[in-house]
Structure 1
Amino acid sequence: MDRKTADTLFLKLSRRFPKAKSELEYETRFQLLVAVILSAQATDVSVNAATATLFPQYPTPSAMLKAGEKGLLKHIRRIGLAPTKAKNILKTCKILLEKFDGEVPENREALESLPGVGRKTANVVLNEGFGHPTIAVDTHVFRLSNRTGLAPSKNTVEAETRLLEIVPKKWKPNAHRYLIMQGRYVCKAKNYNCSHCVIVQECEFSDKRFLAEETVKLNK
């Protein structure tokens, strides 16, 4: 996809999702970090349900560390991979206190050194927490990058690289948010319907699906 078409694509998505933002609920950068760690292979709904009771009781690294693994698991046990995530979060709390004065570092290398934090998590924290124009590639972003022809790629790292190249500068701060909303609510993995898609003209997907009545309208 050329840059002009990409610009139009994001313009339309920005109008479709004018308030696009992370659906994870948090108040501080530390809480954002914990929420994103918990969100791996879990829905935002399930994470928000857990953190609704977790964060009021343990809002800081020191408080969460004192809670211990059992205390943490009481709140997150219904989330996938809860035991592993609990251990990683506690290790992360300890590192934050020992190396970063209890603050979340504004540095990719430092973030990725934390247990349970990979490239996608680091990108989310840098973007949502610090306002960096990073692009976090989750399953929705990766799928749309390939399906629309925006940034065809074989893996998430390649998708991120290509998106950073093709996405106009003005759209980068919100690019992954728009793509996530589009992938979550419109361009789903299986039950997608191009009749309700605002970027159907820009999309290069060869297997576009339309409702019968919409197809008739388009062919008139």
Structure 2
Amino acid sequence: MRGLKPPRYACLWEAFVNAIVFQQVSLAAASAITQRLVVALGAPLLYAGVPLYVFPSAEQVLGADDALLHATGLSASKRVTLRRVATAIVAGSMSERLLAACTSPQAAARLSEIKGIGPWSAAVILLRGLGRLDVFPANDSSVRRNIVMMAPSQRVDLVRTVAALQPQQGLLYYHLLLARLEARGGLGAASVSALGRAPAISS
């Protein structure tokens, strides 16, 4: 994992969408829902004969029919949360510029003011969307499973481990994800679309 560069979503809106979709569902299910959402709303592009889809904007989600969003697999509560976030993004009451002026705890609190965005979602948005490496989504069940997988013969005190890594504890999150992929033989493997189509590209 030497030289790991933490990946980030292209914008705050995209980070919000992924955090919301991935709430309390498996990675496979969330990935499939996101794929269907992008294909349903994103503008299609053809590059070198490969179909790609631009990630849908907040405006597109606000204008989407509820039945269409439901068909992608989004629950009623997630559809409502997405619309709350999209409204805030479009109105300018939530933006990267506003969050940039906040410390990470302040930014997490501000994100959590949107109903449907809890501590886990706020941490993921800050880490994956804004590159805040001083946050760690400690309530992530997959994190604990990955730690057990890496250290099955010893009990790991996650709280102490995260505290010892401050202020870059977010890197542990990425390394645990990579360790999981490596254990599954997924590192370097081509992505497989849930729809048999090419993945989305960010706008």
Normalising by structure 1, we get a TM-score of: 0.57
- How far the C-alpha of 1:66 sits from its partner, in A, is 0.9
Structural mapping, 1:1-220, within 5 Å: 14-15=1-2, 19=4, 27-55=10-38, 57=41, 59-77=56-74, 82-100=75-93, 103=95, 106=99, 107-133=107-133, 134-137=135-138, 138-143=140-145, 144=147, 148-152=154-158, 159=159, 162-167=160-165, 169=167, 171-182=168-179, 186=183
Contact 2:9-2:128 at 8 Å conserved across structures:
no
Amino acid aligned to 1:108: A
Q: Partners in 1 of 2:129 and 2:111 — Cα distance?
A: 12
- Distance change in 2, residues 1:109/1:99 (3 Å): farther
Q: Partners in 2 of 1:118 and 1:181 — Cα distance?
A: 25
Contact 1:54-1:72 at 8 Å conserved across structures:
yes
Contact 1:123-1:136 at 8 Å conserved across structures:
yes
- How far the C-alpha of 1:139 sits from its partner, in A, is 0.7
State percent identity of aligned pairs.
17
- Distance change in 2, residues 1:184/1:116 (3 Å): farther
Task: Compare the two structures and name the one with the higher helix fraction.
Answer: 1
What do residues 106-135 of structure 1 show as CA deviations (whole Å, max 9, x unaligned)? Answer: 321221112321111111111111111111
What do residues 167-198 of structure 1 show as CA deviations (whole Å, max 9, x unaligned)? Answer: 264x52411122244457659xxxxxxxxxxx
* Greater RCO structure (CA 8 Å; 6+ sep): 2
Q: Partners in 2 of 1:139 and 1:185 — Cα distance?
A: 19
What do residues 45-94 of structure 1 show as CA deviations (whole Å, max 9, x unaligned)? Answer: 322222224235252212111114223112225xxxx1221122112222
Contact 2:120-2:137 at 8 Å conserved across structures:
yes
C-alpha RMSD of the superposition? 3.2
- How far the C-alpha of 1:19 sits from its partner, in A, is 5.0
What do residues 141-168 of structure 1 show as CA deviations (whole Å, max 9, x unaligned)? Answer: 235389654425xxxxxx3xx4442226
Amino acid aligned to 2:87: K
**Residue in structure 2 matched with residue 202 of structure 1 by the alignment:** none
Structure 1: gaps (5+ residues): 1-13, 153-158, 188-220
Task: Compare the two structures and name the one with the higher strand fraction.
Answer: 2
Structure 2: gaps (5+ residues): 43-55, 100-106, 185-203
Q: Please identify the structure whose Cα radius of gyration is greater.
A: 1
Give the number of equivalent residue pairs: 156
Normalising by structure 2, we get a TM-score of: 0.61
- Distance change in 2, residues 1:128/1:186 (3 Å): same
What do residues 19-62 of structure 1 show as CA deviations (whole Å, max 9, x unaligned)? Answer: 5867xx96432122111111112122322222224235252212
